[in-house]
Amino acid sequence: MQFDWMQIPYSLLTLFIVLNYGMLLNALIAKIAARVGRRHGIPIWQNYADLLKNYGIRSSITHGVMFYLGPVFRLAGGVGLLLFVPTIFGSEMFSNLSFAGDLILALYFVFFGTLGMALGAGESGHPHAAIGVSRGLSQVTTAELPFALAVFAVALQYQTLSVTDIVAAQQGGFLNWTLFTNPFAVAAAMLGFLGSMMRPPFDVVLAPQEIPIGPPTEYHSSYLALMQTNRMIFPIAKIVVYMNLFFGGAASWPVFFIKVFFIYMVSVLVGVVFPRFHVEQSVRWFLVWAVPFGIIAVLMV
C-alpha cells in the first residue's frame, strides 16, 4: 500500500481526540477514586490547567542529555503506539498508519517508552533513581510476559500479525470477539493489563506512600508537561490495542469511547479495592496467576 499524505492530518486529528478524551477520562477516574475515599476530588478541567502551566515554565537546571530525552522517548512510545494501530475499524480517515506496521511493531512501542524513561531516570543523579528503575523494569517485564503470550496465541489463532486483519476476523457479532473464541488469552492479557497501567496495587514504581521519588519529583517544567501529555495518551493507546485484539475493535467513535471507558475501568476498580503490592509480591503475582493463562492459550491454539 502506498503512503497517503492525507493520513498525516487525520492522524493528528486522532491524536487530538485521544488526548482530550484521556484528559477528561483521567480527571473523571481521579474524581471516582476520591469519592470512594469520601473526598471531593479534582475539577474535571484540572488536567488542562496543569498541562498549560507546565508547558509555560522553563528551567535552567542542567542534567545529562539522556535525562531530557527520557520524557521524549516516553511520549514517542505512546504516540507511536496509537498511530500504528487502527483507531476506528473500516474508516480510511482514522486507520492512522496501521498499514505500515504490524503487531510486533506495536509491542516494541509498548516497551520503548518504559525503557527510555528508565535511561532518563538513571542519569538524574538522584540516589534513589536505581530503586525506581529496578522496580519499573521488574514489574513491566513480568506484566508484559502474559500479554506477549496472549498476543502469540491471537496471532496463531488468526494466522496474521496485522492488527487490522485481526479486527476484521472478529466482525459479525460479539460472539466472534477473541473474548469468547479464546478466553484464556484474554484472561492472560487483562491480568497483564493491570500491571501495565501502573495503578494500585501495581504502582510500585512511584510508591507514593513510601518514598518521595519518581518522575513527578525528578522532572519539572516542560519536561514534566511531556510526561503528563503521555500520561493521557499512552493508557488510551494501550487500551486501543487491547480493544482491537480482544474486544472486536470499534467501528465508530461512540463505540470507541464506550469500550475504552469500560476497559479502563477494570484497572480503576481493582485500584480502588486493593492496596499496593510490594515489588516481590507484584512480580510473583504475574508469574503465578497470569503467565499460566497465557501458556494455556498458546497450547490450546
- The Cα–Cα gap between 32 and 27 comes to 9
Q: What is the mean pLDDT of residues 256-281?
A: 87
Higher pLDDT, 122 or 301: 301
Q: What is the mean pLDDT of residues 176-182?
A: 94
Cβ contact 177:223 at 8 Å: no
Residue 209 has pLDDT above 60, yes or no: no
Lowest mean pLDDT among 62-71, 123-132, 195-204: 123-132
Higher pLDDT, 118 or 86: 86
Q: What is the mean pLDDT of residues 49-73?
A: 81
Looking at residue 284, its pLDDT comes to: 87
Residue 2 has pLDDT above 60, yes or no: no
Work out the end-to-end distance of the chain between its first and last CA atoms, rounded to an integer number of angstroms.
30
Q: What is the mean pLDDT of residues 116-140?
A: 75
Short-list 110, 105, 98, 107, CA closest to 168: 98
Of the pLDDT bands very low, low, confident and very high (cuts 50, 70, 90), residue 157 is very high
Looking at residue 217, its pLDDT comes to: 64
- C-alpha dist (Å) from residue 298 to 101, 104, 162, 182, 292: 23, 17, 18, 10, 10
Residue 89 has pLDDT above 70, yes or no: yes
Helices (H), the chain: 7-36, 46-55, 65-83, 103-122, 129-158, 163-169, 178-181, 183-196, 215-218, 221-246, 253-273, 279-285, 291-300
Mean pLDDT for the chain?
84
- The Cα–Cα gap between 65 and 159 comes to 43
Lowest mean pLDDT among 32-46, 60-74, 134-148, 202-216: 202-216
pLDDT digits (tens, 9 = 90+) for 284-297: 888 888 999 999 99
Of the pLDDT bands very low, low, confident and very high (cuts 50, 70, 90), residue 271 is confident
Residue 1 has pLDDT above 80, yes or no: no
Residue 249 has pLDDT above 80, yes or no: yes
Q: Give exposure, 34-53, as e/b (b: 16+ Cβ within 10 Å).
A: eeeeeeebbeeeebeeebee
Looking at residue 297, its pLDDT comes to: 92
| Model pTM score | 0.90
- The Cα–Cα gap between 68 and 130 comes to 17
Higher pLDDT, 48 or 129: 48
Residue 190 has pLDDT above 90, yes or no: yes
Of the pLDDT bands very low, low, confident and very high (cuts 50, 70, 90), residue 134 is confident
